[in-house]
Amino acid sequence: MICSIKKFLFILSAGLFFFQKISAEIRMPVIFQSNMVLQRDKEVTMWGFAGIKEKVEINFDNKLYNTVTGENGKWIIKFPPHIAGGPYEITLQGKANTIVLKNILFGDLWICGGQSNMQYTLDEIGYQPADTSKNNNKNLRLFTSSIDMDYVPKDDLTGGIWKEALTENIKYFSAVAYFFGKYLQDSLHVPIGLISDNLGATSIETWMSPQALKQFPQFNSYYKEYLAPSKSFKEITAAFEKMKPSWEKKYYLKGMGFEQKWFLPETDITDWKTMEVPGYWEDNGYTGFDGAMWYRKSFDIPRDFKEDTFHLALNQIDDYDMAWINGEKVGEGFGNLNWRNYKVPLNILKEKDNVLVVRVFDIGGRGGMYSPAFWGNSILLGSWKYKPDLKIDAATFPKPLVVNASPFSSPAVLFNGNIAPLKSFAIKGVIWYQGEANATRAYEYRTLFPAMINDWRANFNQGNIPFLFVQLANYMQENNIPGESDWAELRESQASALNMSNTGMAVTIDIGEANDIHPKNKSDVGKRLALAALKVAYNKDVISSGPIYNSMKIAGDSVIIDFTNNDLVTKNKYGYVSGFAIAGSDKKFYWAQAFIKNNSIIVYSNQVKNPVAVRYAWSDNPGQLDLYNSKRLPAAPFRTDDWPLKTKGKLFSENPWEL
């Protein structure tokens, strides 16, 4: 017994010694690496962790900087502003280890945020440079952030590597960001650092901080349930796992399905009915049903399947689920926004007639396997056998707090995981390409977008940093007659942010593709953002945008449109300008004839004798346009009326599929 105690104490002391040694080592956030760019001409903050009250010494540019960690083991050192240049080395010396950061440049750092059109890589657009040697630009540095999410702000990114913009490194980097940085670097001749921090299909509210969302009533219930408790995913999961066994036994694992083992392949399903998936069971006659519904479907393994693991993508389920294949449990999930992606061992699968059973448990509202199978296996679509089981009273059923988050639609989770860790990092500005995911709520975007810009500026605490954004490109089929458009309304909401200081917009209404939401021409997008940067961020005397609507005047049966940047040019060889529509007091729009006269546009239509309003490029896809300035920059879409828009009143919903 005494020997056992001595052995335990020895192991404990050895473990404590090892822990103290590990915690005493200097650690730095992921963003601080060799090959990085630090912001020139601004105070630069570096920070990290070591042992409590440990001295940390930094040697940079023949100067020594010393600090001591606090009670939380965190250290912070600030460098005075430094001119552009390099490369430099930064050496950090602690009690237990030394870190050497090499090949460091001082220049301008830009965060490149948004959704898939910012995420889209050079490889995905098929970029093939004519002269690969010209792509080896060691003064252009690239960092692609690994994406993470949480309900509370995180203090570090999950991953990412700083790389020089060499031919072999640019292939999988953001195409828009690369062309933006390349054009800037060529124009300014200073090092440029690009932090690609974005994710496809994401809505703007996922990139806003909890504090920014608090001002909007539509986020109240979400804020109170998930953000206000200030509990991380890790804390919530630990608490749930602790109480889960007793909760399951008393409430959740009930019903005839478990008693009769409906998850077994030999279960008699002659009385099971048929339901289409994806969908909600309320749409199949089960209005008001809360509780357990069992689904079943057979499938074969694809003939060409050669993977080590079979991935079962059930996607999103409202609210909880358990899944079995051939009687073996393969996964479970909690929360209607979480994506179900289960790894299935190959040894439980057969070549044909595998039996997949899913128990779906709804705790209120609508229930079912509701999410379209964007990345799922084809087996998930179509007819499933189903049978209702345990019915509950949703008002009294205990609902433990679980992590219930989608990176695409859950407010604040991407800000917390990917922007918050960078907020002490000195930067030059932000470029942003996002909006597609918010198009059905376009009117709401005119308040969310400025709030996000202010939110990021407040968090970075570096003044009104330049914020440059891409207005949505033309997309989908052209309309035969003028009409309403979600995308046109979203573009107007984007443009309204130009009323804020230090903002700029790249108009892309002429370089989209009708059949591809990811147009391949990212070079012009990057160049137009760079022109906006030269104007807004660097105060260069450049023409950074095409014609912008300024005012209208009615002259008989015509309307005269004036522009800022009114150096008007048309590509139409006959001098006419396409894309205009005109309406009278009945608010019915007709395609209009238009031409340039005295650097104004004259708009008219034989069908509208008394015009009151004009719209230009007001469509998802207005087709081929020909109104530019002499720098070949397109005129921005606009409308002269203030009539009600179709998306007004459409607001955020916790379940985006129920909008």
Residues ≥6 apart with Cβ < 8 Å to 440 = 486, 647, 650, 659
Helices and strands (H, E) in the chain, number of each type? 12, 32
Task: Give the per-residue SS3 of 158-218.
Answer: CCCCEEEECHHHHCCCEHHHHHHHHHHHHHHCCCEEEEEEECCCCCHHHHCCHHHHCCCHH
What pLDDT is attached to residue 18? 38
- Beta-carbon neighbour count of residue 267 at 10 Å? 18
CA dihedral 649, 650, 655, 656 (to 10 degrees): -170
What pLDDT is attached to residue 1? 39
What pLDDT is attached to residue 2? 38
**Minimal CA–CA distance to 37: which of 82, 75, 72?**
82
Question: Contact 323/250 with Cβ under 8 angstroms?
Answer: no
What pLDDT is attached to residue 307? 84
pLDDT tops 50 at residue 16: no
Please tell me whether residue 487 adopts helix, strand or coil conformation. Answer: helix
What pLDDT is attached to residue 380? 80
What pLDDT is attached to residue 442? 98
Question: Contact 568/627 with Cβ under 8 angstroms?
Answer: yes
The amino acid at residue 260 is: Q
Distance CA 264, CA 383 (A): 19
What pLDDT is attached to residue 134? 72
CA dihedral 128, 129, 131, 132 (to 10 degrees): -80
Predicted confidence band of residue 278 (pLDDT cuts 50, 70, 90): very high
Distance CA 84, CA 192 (A): 10
Longest dimension (CA), the chain: 106
pLDDT digits (tens, 9 = 90+) for 561-617: 999 987 999 988 888 999 999 999 999 999 999 999 999 999 999 999 999 999 999
What pLDDT is attached to residue 655? 62
β partners of residue 580: 616
pLDDT digits (tens, 9 = 90+) for 324-342: 999 999 999 999 999 999 9
pLDDT tops 70 at residue 10: no
Q: At what angle do helices 522-536 and 175-188 cross, to 10 degrees?
A: 50
pLDDT tops 80 at residue 23: no
The amino acid at residue 625 is: L
Distance CA 229, CA 573 (A): 63
Please tell me whether residue 101 adopts helix, strand or coil conformation. Answer: strand
Cα atoms in the 13 Å half-sphere on the side-chain side of 364: 9
pLDDT digits (tens, 9 = 90+) for 501-554: 999 999 999 999 999 999 999 999 999 999 999 999 999 999 999 999 999 999
The amino acid at residue 352 is: K
pLDDT digits (tens, 9 = 90+) for 369-415: 998 765 566 778 889 999 999 999 999 999 999 999 999 999 999 99
**Rounded percentage of the chain residues whose pLDDT exceeds 90:** 89
- Overall residue count recorded for the chain in this entry: 659
pLDDT tops 60 at residue 658: no
Q: Which two tokens stand for residue 509?
A: 């209404």
What pLDDT is attached to residue 484? 97
Segment 446-456 shows an average pLDDT of 98
Segment 91-104 shows an average pLDDT of 96
pLDDT tops 60 at residue 96: yes
**Helix H or strand E segment including 119:** helix 116-119
pLDDT tops 70 at residue 3: no
Distance CA 427, CA 419 (A): 12
Predicted confidence band of residue 426 (pLDDT cuts 50, 70, 90): very high
**Rounded percentage of the chain residues whose pLDDT exceeds 70:** 95
Q: What is the mean pLDDT of the chain?
A: 93
Omega before 87 cis (within 30°)? yes
- Beta-carbon neighbour count of residue 266 at 10 Å? 8
Question: Contact 208/411 with Cβ under 8 angstroms?
Answer: yes
Distance CA 61, CA 44 (A): 14
Please tell me whether residue 313 adopts helix, strand or coil conformation. Answer: strand
- Beta-carbon neighbour count of residue 178 at 10 Å? 26
Predicted TM-score (pTM) of this structure: 0.93
Distance CA 600, CA 559 (A): 10
What pLDDT is attached to residue 217? 97
pLDDT tops 50 at residue 6: no
Segment 2-6 shows an average pLDDT of 40
pLDDT tops 80 at residue 133: no
pLDDT tops 60 at residue 12: no
What pLDDT is attached to residue 377? 65
Q: Which two tokens stand for residue 470?
A: 């891409």
- Residue whose token pair is 């994710």: 199
CA angle 408, 282, 293 (to 5 degrees): 85
What pLDDT is attached to residue 105? 98
Please tell me whether residue 495 adopts helix, strand or coil conformation. Answer: helix
